[in-house]
Amino acid sequence: MTRFAKNDNVFYFEEPHTGPDSYEIIRQDGISVVVIHIENHHDDYKGRMARIIDQFLKGQQIQDYLCWYYTPMALEYTAHLKPKVTVYDSMDELSAFRFAPPQLLELEEALFKKADVVFTGGHTLYQAKKDRHHNIHPFPSSIDKDHFQKARKKTADCPDQNHIPHPRFGFFGVIDERFDIELLREVSFRKPDWHFVIIGPVVKIDPAELPKADNIHYLGPKKYDELPQYISHWDMAMVLFAINESTEFISPTKTPEYLSAGLPVISTPIKDVIRPYGEENLVYIADNADTFIAFGEQELRKESRKEWLTKVDEFLADDSWDNTFAKMSLLIENVKKSNGIYV
C-alpha cells in the first residue's frame, strides 16, 4: 500500500474500536489510516458501520475510488458501495483459522462475484481458488530486501537478547494455532545447549500451552524496524508452523525475509516453502524433530555460507515489493481500461 500511496490517496480502514460512533484519520507512512469507533458492536453494527463509511466518503469528497479487500467480512458493511474497481487480496484461507466467523465463506463467495481482480498470497492458495474467478493471480511473499539485509551487518545486540547463549535458533511472527508447539518442545528438550528465541505476540491460544524451558526465550512483540538487529545475532531461523488446516495454504513471508537477512532456515513441510525454497536447496525442510536436529547440526558444522548466500541472492534478485506493485498495478489498469471486463 505504501507504493500505491506514492501516486494515489490510500485510506486503510482498521477494525473498529469501541467508542462513540465516529472516525478519525491518522497519517502513517504516506497512508491515511481510518480508525472507526462504534459505541455498541451488537446494535445494528453493520448499518452503523456503513453510515460512518458513507460519512467518510462524503466528508473527504471521494467519488472515484477503488475498493481493496483483505477480508470478505468487510463486505457486510461495504456491499452498497460502487467503486470503479474491486480487488480481493486473498492472503490466506481465513475460514480455516481459529474463531473464524461462520458467515465468512458465504461472504467470500459474494466477494468473488463482486471482485474485478483477485490476488492470492501464494501458489497453493491460487490452485485452491483459481476456478472461482476468471481474473485471479498468485502473488507469493514479497520482501523489503534493503530492510532485512541490514541484518548482514553486525551491530550491538539487543539488551533483552544479549544474555542468551549461542547457538540461537530464531522465529518472529504471530504465535497462534499455526505455531508448532510440540516440535519446539521436543527439539528444545533434546538439544538443551541450543537456544530458541521467539519474537511475536501470542494470540488465540493460551500462553500456558507454550513449552517452557531454560533454553526457550519468549521476547514478546517487536517493532518491524527492530527485527534486523535481533536476527543479525541469530545462527539459524525457523519457519515453525504446524501442519494443520490453518497452514495448508500459508505462504510465509518470513521465509524470504530470513534468507534476505543471510540466515539459513529450517522449515516444517509447508507446501509454499517446499516449492520453491526446498526444491532449490535454499531451505532445510524438517518434518519431525529428528530431521530438524540433523539439519541444525549439519548447518552449525559449516565453516562458510558464501556459496549458499550467492545462490540465495540470485534467487531473490527479482523478489521485491516494487516488482509486486508494478505487476498488480498493471492488472488493475487492465480492468480500468476494459471497464471491469478483463481482456
First to last CA, the chain: 25
pLDDT in tens, 92-103: 787 777 777 888
Predicted pLDDT of residue 338: 83
The DSSP letter of residue 9 is -
Predicted pLDDT of residue 322: 83
Sequence ranges of the domains in the chain: 4-142+320-337, 145-315
Predicted pLDDT of residue 11: 93
CB 331 within 8 A of CB 298: no
Q: Do domains 4-142+320-337 and 145-315 have the same CATH topology?
A: yes
Q: What are the residues facing 17 on neighbouring strands?
A: 37
- Is the link from the previous residue into 167 a cis peptide, with omega within 30 of 0? yes
CB 116 within 8 A of CB 335: yes
Q: How is 106-173 classified by DSSP, letter by letter?
A: HHHHHHHHH-SEEEESSHHHHHHHGGG-SSEEE-PPP--HHHHGGGGS--PPPTTTTTPPSSEEEEES
Predicted pLDDT of residue 41: 65
| Residue 54 one-letter amino acid | D
Joined grid coordinates for residue 122: 501464494
| C-alpha distance from residue 40 to each of 17, 22, 25 (Å) | 10, 12, 21
Residue ranges of the chain with per-residue pLDDT less than 50: 342-343
Instruction: Please tell me the distance from the alpha carbon of residue 59 to that of residue 102, in angstroms, as a whole number.
Output: 34
* Secondary structure class of 60 (helix, strand, coil): coil
Fold category of 145-315 in CATH: Rossmann fold (3.40.50)
Predicted pLDDT of residue 343: 43
Q: Are strands 265-267 and 284-285 parallel, antiparallel or unpaired?
A: parallel
Instruction: Please tell me the distance from the alpha carbon of residue 103 to that of residue 92, in angstroms, as a whole number.
Output: 16
- CATH code for the domain defined by 4-142+320-337: 3.40.50.2000
Instruction: Please tell me the distance from the alpha carbon of residue 150 to that of residue 140, in angstroms, as a whole number.
Output: 22
| CA-closest candidate to residue 180, choices 95, 267, 255 | 267
* Secondary structure class of 236 (helix, strand, coil): strand
Predicted pLDDT of residue 340: 55
Length of the chain: 343
Predicted pLDDT of residue 341: 52
Q: Are strands 216-220 and 284-285 parallel, antiparallel or unpaired?
A: unpaired
Question: Which DSSP helix (H) or strand (E) runs through 52?
Answer: helix 45-59
pLDDT in tens, 288-311: 999 999 999 999 999 999 999 999
Predicted pLDDT of residue 91: 83
Instruction: Please tell me the distance from the alpha carbon of residue 33 to that of residue 29, in angstroms, as a whole number.
Output: 10
CB 215 within 8 A of CB 184: no
Q: Which residues lie closer than 8 Å to 217 by C-beta, 6 or more apart?
A: 161, 164, 195, 196, 197, 198
